[in-house]
Amino acid sequence: MNNQKVWFVTGASKGLGLSLVKQLLAKGYNVAATSRNVADLESAVGKSESFLPLAVNLTDEKSVNNAISQTISLFGKIDVVVNNAGYGMVGALEELSDTEARANFDVNVFGSLNVIRAVMPHLRGQQSGHIFNISSIGGFTGSYPGFGIYCATKFAVQGFTESLAAEAKSLGIKATIVSPGYFRTNFLAPDALSTPKNEIAAYKTVREVQDAHQNQIGGNQPGDPEKGVAAIITVAEADEAPMHLFLGQDAYDIAYQKMNDVKQDLETWKELTVNTGY
Amino acid sequence: MENIIKTWFITGASKGLGLSLVKQLLAAGQNVAATSRHLAELVMAVGSTADNFLPIEVDLANEDSVGCAMHQTKKAFGSIDVVINNAGYGIGGSIEELTDQETRDSFDVNVFGTLNVIRMVMPYMRYQQSGHIINISSIAGFAPGVGWSVYAATKFAVEGLSTVLAEDVREFGVKVTVVAPGAFRTSFLTPDSLTIAKNRIEDYKVVGASLDRYLGYHGQQAGDPEKAATAIINVAYDENPPLHLLLGADAYDRAMAQLDKLEKEFRFNEELSKSMAYSA
């Protein structure tokens, strides 16, 4: 039965990760889930024989390798990996320090790469597996003023996931980029969304966007996380998996807009583009 | 080229597209500050002792080093009008084959170096209420090739940060263009420019085959770097420069193929994608 599949989910103590873990357990899957703090995870999810809570620092390769090994010793294999851990960061590129920018990349990019590097030997060994990388609609279109670093991290996720799908296909392994629009999680809450330590008053547009996200959009997002999570499980069970999965009417519409914008730039400047050969 | 004299700040200028840009701009009498990790290499490659050329040794991953270079440029020429974030290198291998260190080294130059330059130049451009930031990405930043996972990640990141930057700095009169070249006949694919994963894994046959194919293109690339440099300079003089500029017929074709592929992917899950709202 499919329900004996083993899932490995990062960033599972809240948000989409937590909803995913709960739905998976309810459906009878075996689930290993990570968080920086295992107590948070245990209290959020509860105890179950098919649930393995793991305290993991995703930027530490040893910690990640250890979590993968523990999962395999307990459940015998890993079928589906969901790189869900990540957080939002708002601020102009000038406002956010090198340290702040790198901290966002550490979790959103290098953490996921650490998980992929650690799990691939097992997936290659069994010639099967499916890796879901949770990106964002902000990883497909940069039309989110004030979210430059966050979008850069999520664009990076798009780039390496497309590559992963191509390089792992012949090994029987699938990769899917999940790009949610606005879902009603704690993503925009004060303790979740990172803001610049040194704000520069001149960036009026950025401040307006920051204010709108913190005070208007947060709590009023159109997307239902339970539906988002159910869609991921549906796709994991489908025979044919898409490389791109956009979640939410907003994500879908904005993605189409971006494709049209790019097309327009391409056509307007085609003459210059194609006349650069010898 | 127009006769208006601008001050240009170009990173990674000792070879390739960066070097072509510097030479063309100097020949046109423009003020050019150019950076490289090795000053002597840069000075020798450019071969100019003219007053309008300022070669600077810079470690792009070091913010202080970048800040110092901006200060020198402003002092020498009085303004910084166009910044071209050109420094970067290719890195080949699957995600699994590339170590955390190899991956981070590539992000240091291709992403964090560019961010350092933007962070350091923006105070000058905000003060001037003008400027143009041109980030050199790659067609791999929109349509990745097989075996270039981390390179694609860095260049996708450049695409993303450039798009947002364009919106964030519009209120200061600062423009942004992200350039995605296809294959140009530079030293990009030579061993001293390119990094290939040290730990190769036999299983990744498609990666190995793809990398071999790419390396075989060296010296055969269809694109002329001199024409690419001219195109970039022309865009910097345009009243309404594009946010996205592709260079090369190959880049155009890859981008169009990618757009077609994306449209199919959209349609595949359209109904599922659109059914995420809370039930009434």
Question: In chain B, whose CA is at the least distance from the CA of A163?
Answer: B149
A177 touches chain B (CB under 8 A): no
Mind telling me how many Å the CA of B68 is from chain A's nearest CA? 16
Mind telling me how many Å the CA of A75 is from chain B's nearest CA? 23
First to last CA, chain A: 59
Say whether B75 is catalytic: no
**Any idea how long chain B is?**
280
- Between chains, do B168 and A144 touch, taking CB under 8 Å as contact? no
Mind telling me how many Å the CA of A41 is from chain B's nearest CA? 26
Q: What was the pLDDT predicted at A2? A: 47
- Distances in Å between the Cα of B279 and the Cα atoms of A184, A274, B275 are 13, 49, 9
Percent of chain B with pLDDT over 90: 87
Chain B interface, mutation test: which of A112, A205, A276, A278, most B Cβ atoms within 10 Å? A276
Whether pLDDT at A87 is above 60: yes
Restricting to A residues 20-59, those with a Cβ less than 8 Å away from any Cβ of B are none
A182-239 tens-digit pLDDT? 999 988 888 889 999 999 999 999 999 999 999 999 889 999 999 999 999 999 999 8
CB A179 within 8 A of CB A245: yes
Say whether B65 is catalytic: no
Nearest residue, CB atoms, A266 vs list B98, B115, B252: B252
- Distances in Å between the Cα of A149 and the Cα atoms of A67, A153, B121, B154 are 28, 6, 17, 12
Judging contacts by C-beta atoms under 8 Å, the chain B residues touching residue A153 are: 157, 160
- Identify the CA nearest to A80 among candidates A140, A135, A24, A14: A24
- Identify the CA nearest to A172 among candidates A131, A123, A132: A123
Whether pLDDT at B1 is above 80: no
- Residue A76 is encoded by which pair of tokens? 């015998």
Say whether B151 is catalytic: yes
Q: What was the pLDDT predicted at A218? A: 87
If you average pLDDT over residues B90-96, what whole number do you get?
A: 96
DSSP reduced 3-state for B257: helix
B4-37 tens-digit pLDDT? 999 999 999 999 999 999 999 999 999 999 999 9
Nearest residue, CB atoms, A147 vs list B155, B164, B246: B164
Set B106, B138, B151, B214: catalytic member: B151
- Between chains, do A244 and B154 touch, taking CB under 8 Å as contact? no
B181-223 tens-digit pLDDT? 998 888 888 887 889 999 999 999 999 999 999 888 888 888 8
B47-60 tens-digit pLDDT? 999 999 999 999 99
CA angle at B163 for the pair B93 and B78, rounded to the nearest 5°: 105
- Identify the CA nearest to B273 among candidates A142, A23, A253: A253
Judging contacts by C-beta atoms under 8 Å, the chain B residues touching residue A136 are: none
- Residue A194 is encoded by which pair of tokens? 């990172």
Judging contacts by C-beta atoms under 8 Å, the chain B residues touching residue A120 are: 94-96
Size of interface A-B (CB pairs under 8 A): 274
Question: In chain A, whose CA is at the least distance from the CA of B152?
Answer: A159
Query: What does the alpha-carbon distance between residue A157 and residue A189 come to, in Å, rounded to a whole number?
Result: 23
CB B160 within 8 A of CB A258: no
If you average pLDDT over residues B131-139, what whole number do you get?
A: 97
- Residue B13 is encoded by which pair of tokens? 């200028």
Calculated CA dihedral for residues A190, A219, A56, A65, nearest 10 degrees: -130
- Give the predicted TM-score (pTM) of the model: 0.96
Judging contacts by C-beta atoms under 8 Å, the chain A residues touching residue B203 are: 124, 171
Q: What is the DSSP letter of A107?
A: I
Query: What does the alpha-carbon distance between residue A238 and residue B214 come to, in Å, rounded to a whole number?
Result: 34
Percent of chain A with pLDDT over 70: 99
DSSP β-bridge partners for residue A245: A178
Set A144, A150, A182, A203: catalytic member: A150
B112 touches chain A (CB under 8 A): yes
Name the one residue in this structure whose structure tokens are 């364009």.
Answer: B166
DSSP reduced 3-state for B137: coil
User: pLDDT-based confidence at A1, cuts 50/70/90?
Assistant: very low
A132-181 tens-digit pLDDT? 999 999 999 998 999 999 999 999 999 999 999 999 999 999 999 999 99
Looking at chain B, the number of H-run helices and the number of E-run strands are 10, 9
Query: What does the alpha-carbon distance between residue A246 and residue A67 come to, in Å, rounded to a whole number?
Result: 29
Whether pLDDT at A5 is above 90: yes
Q: What was the pLDDT predicted at B217? A: 86
Q: Which residues are CB-contacts of B238 (< 8 A; sequence separation ≥ 6)?
A: none
DSSP β-bridge partners for residue B91: B195
- Between chains, do B164 and A268 touch, taking CB under 8 Å as contact? no
User: pLDDT-based confidence at A72, cuts 50/70/90?
Assistant: very high
Nearest residue, CB atoms, B152 vs list A121, A163, A180: A163
- Between chains, do A202 and B126 touch, taking CB under 8 Å as contact? yes
Average pLDDT of chain B to the nearest whole number: 94
If you average pLDDT over residues A16-41, what whole number do you get?
A: 96
